[in-house]
Amino acid sequence: MPRRFFLILVVLAGYALPAYPGPWRALENNVQGWALMTPDERIEHQRRLRGFDTYEACAAYVAAHHAEMQARADRAGLVLSPRRQSVCDQLRAEGRLK
């Protein structure tokens, strides 16, 4: 009986954990302007970030993205909270950017 219970817990835990490919995950708490993006834009944003191989290209994209999100926030009368850590710094620390 305990073995069966353990097996059920393991299976349920597997369903409870989100399945994100790759180490970096674009989520509401780590993407500036998340709430201002469509679901398709969120997917594309994550895809693009995972596709960079240099820090400079990543930083240029992120700067443009932040400018666009700030413009959207301004039009909507919202204030964006700044991100605590640069995603490009994080990706470089993981060895994904040169």
Most confident of 16-20, 52-56, 84-88: 52-56
In a domain, 62, yes or no: yes
* Mean per-residue pLDDT of the chain: 77
Domain of 35? 25-93
In a domain, 13, yes or no: no
In a domain, 39, yes or no: yes
In a domain, 45, yes or no: yes
In a domain, 7, yes or no: no
Total Cβ atoms within 10 A of residue 37? 19
pLDDT digits (tens, 9 = 90+) for 62-73: 999 999 999 999
pLDDT digits (tens, 9 = 90+) for 38-69: 999 988 998 998 899 999 999 999 999 999 99
79 vs 75: CA distance, rounded Å: 10
- For the chain, the domain total comes to 1
Please give the DSSP secondary-structure letter assigned to residue 97. Answer: -
Report residue 66 CA to chain centroid gap: 14
In a domain, 80, yes or no: yes
